[in-house]
Structure 1
Amino acid sequence: MTSRLFSPLVLLLVLAFLIGPFAIIIAASLSAGETLAFPPQGLSLRWVFKVFEIESFRQSFGISLFLAIGGTLTALILGVPASYALSRYKVPGAETIRTIVSSPIIVPGIIVGLALLRYFVVPFNTGILFALFMAHTALILPYAVRVVSASLTNLRSDIEEAAVLLGSSRVGAFFRVVLPNIRGGILAAFILGFVTSFNQVPVSLFLSGPGIRTLPIDMLAYMEITYDPSVAALSALLAFMSLGIVFLAERFLGFSRYV
């Protein structure tokens, strides 16, 4: 009897540990008080509406959206051909190349951000927005390569060879046969890259500048001078946005097959 209750109890504790912080943030965002507090001081949606009135949040949201979409698309443009080459050809040092490509997610983000600032932005006087774009692209590239490679591994190579034998060129076979069959993996890589970029903090912290900050960095700066529940409201909205994107990806793409 005890062993039957142990597993459900552990599962319940794990769920409480994972969901608890989200529940606290959501409750704090609905507070009617003037300061961020839990338990909330009454219930109100005033701070949720205030989020849309803060100019810096709107501006930084646009920058984060640009970086997430642009960086992910660029990473896919680079990652899809790289994944195809690593999956279909005997590339010398393929494992070493995979390790190098994966290095942005292996190395701590703080080190990546500091290195880019010291050896890329400062010496070459690179613009902050361009540096952020390059950094986010580099951070997303490993996810693009890994997810697309998984899709290519599950796609039989003889289908492509049959298209070539029937008269198609290699490039034509890629666009007509391979690409349509791995579009689910590409979309999954896009969603994973988008969420990763949008919520990125360590690298963005080092590469932010006057007037150019991503939304997470702007939220940190806002909390340094204001301690009202609007940051909790924005955090809750972002959490729901990320969960909604992942839920839709799982519902229509089978997201768990690729990651």
Structure 2
Amino acid sequence: MRNLPIWIILGLTLTFMIGPFIIIIFAGASAGDALAFPPDGLSLKWYLKVFTIESFRESFLLSMFLAIFGTLTALLLGIPAAYALNRYKLPGDEAIRTIVAAPIIVPGIIVGLALLRYLVVPLDFTVTMALFLAHTALVLPYAVRVVSSSMNNLRADMEEAAVLLGCTRMQAFTKVVLPNIRGGVLAAFILGFVTSFNQVPVSLFLSGPGVKTLPIDMLAYMEITYDPSVAALSALLAFMSLAIVFVAERLLGFSRYV
């Protein structure tokens, strides 16, 4: 009985965290024609309908493109930045770390508005290019922080030994450093992918006619249609994110890097 309050608090916490997930699963499996919970009977028709909606397919492909290539670009920029911040004493390195982390600290609405007003409009970027740059900038802090965390666990004298044995700095980095931090790099990619794919505030400002990411397309769909297909799609996306994180944890020990 002494542990009863602890179990009650734990149960309430799990209900708060898992409850919305359970609701959208059953709401998407409703046999009725309107989004409701509890559902009016159970059916998989709305889960199947998700794959027949053309706008969802197109926005899904765009979100996948942004998540994959935006994260890869962020890693190409973030890995050298993390290496420099960890291996060298740079003037103003704390200020640099703060600037790099700015997209995480600043609310997404402000980031989206700033990019729209001072980058997209003056330079006349296409919607796709604007979204790509925005998603890359949003993922970059995660790339730097996760790779830095992995690099902190790597002994610097291993790289120095490779240099003393005849390697150039680039060869030591590619043959010694990079193989030893690959777990952190993969973890950064997965975290960046999930973050980019589910991004809403910035994408809301930068999406345009006929070019929308999947979360923004789902919002637009709900403005004109109130059937359970959005709940079904939300459940499928939640399962996808959970599967990615679960596999990453099993293979990489994902929690060590985030």
Query: What's the TM-score bracket when you normalise by the shorter of the two chains?
Result: over 0.9
Query: What are the superposed Cα offsets for residues 54-94 of structure 1, whole Å, 9 maximum, x if unpaired?
Result: 00000000000000001000000000000000000111111
Partner of 1:164: 163
1:122 Cα deviation after fit: 1.2
CA distance in 2, matches of 1:169, 1:220: 52
Question: How far apart are the structure 2 equivalents of 1:199 and 1:50?
Answer: 21
Measure, in 1, the Cα distance between the counterparts of 2:19 and 2:147. 34
**1:162-199, Cα deviation, whole Å (9 max, x unpaired):** 11111111110100000000000000000000000000
Separation in structure 2 between the aligned mates of residue 123 and residue 176 of structure 1, nearest angstrom: 43
Q: Hey, what does 1:173 align to over in structure 2?
A: 172
Matched, 1:116 2:118: no
**1:228 — aligned with what?**
227
**Aligned-partner Cα distance in 2 for 1:172–1:58:** 43
- Tell me what 1:65 maps to: 64
Match of 2:132 in 1: 133
Aligned to 2:74: 75
* CA distance, structure 2, for counterparts of residue 41 and residue 250 of structure 1: 37
SS in 1 for 2:118: helix
- The one-letter amino acid paired with 1:101 is V
Q: Secondary structure at the match of 1:227?
A: coil
CA distance in 1, matches of 2:192, 2:159: 27
In structure 2, distance between residues paired with 1:28 and 1:257: 35
- The answer for unaligned runs of 5 or more in structure 1 is none
After superposition, give the CA deviation of every residue in 1:132-182 in whole Å (9 maximum; x if it has no partner): 000000000000000000011000001111111111111101000000000
Amino acid in the other structure paired with 2:38: P
CA distance in 2, matches of 1:169, 1:126: 40
Equivalent position amino acid for 1:38 in 2: F
Q: Which portions of structure 1, spanning 4 or more consecutive aligned residues, are displaced by more than 3 angstroms?
A: none
Q: Which residue of 2 aligns with 1:104?
A: 103
Instruction: Count residues in correspondence.
Output: 258
Equivalent residue of 2:90, what SS? coil
Q: 1:123 Cα deviation (Å)? A: 1.4
CA distance in 2, matches of 1:31, 1:192: 32
Provide the residue aligned with 1:208 in structure 2: 207
Q: Percent identity of the aligned residues?
A: 76
Say if 2:56 is the partner of 1:50. no
User: Aligned partners of 1:243, 1:23: CA distance in 2, in Å?
Assistant: 14
**Counterpart code for 1:93:** G
TM-score for both structures, normalised by structure 1: 0.99
In the TM superposition, what are the counterparts of 1:13-52 in structure 2 within 5 Å? 13-52=12-51
Letter of the structure 2 residue corresponding to residue 174 of structure 1: F
Partner residue, 1:188: 187
TM-score, normalised with respect to structure 2:
0.99
Deviation at 1:6, TM superposition (A): 1.1
CA RMSD of aligned residues (A): 0.5
2: CA distance, partners of 1:168 / 1:123:
46
Q: Return the offset for 1:9.
A: 1.3
Matched with 1:147 is 146
The CA deviation string for residues 75-120 of structure 1, in whole angstroms up to 9 with x for no partner, is 0000000000000011111100000000001000000001111111
Residues 173-228 of structure 1: per-residue CA shift (max 9 Å, x gap): 10000000000000000000000000000000000001100000000000000000
Q: CA deviation at 1:18?
A: 0.2
Q: Which residue does the alignment assign to 2:86?
A: 87
**Match of 2:196?**
197
Q: Which amino acid aligns with 1:48?
A: Y
Paired residue secondary structure (1:52): helix
State the AA in 1 paired with 2:152.
T
In 1, the alpha carbon distance for the partners of 2:150 and 2:221 equals 41
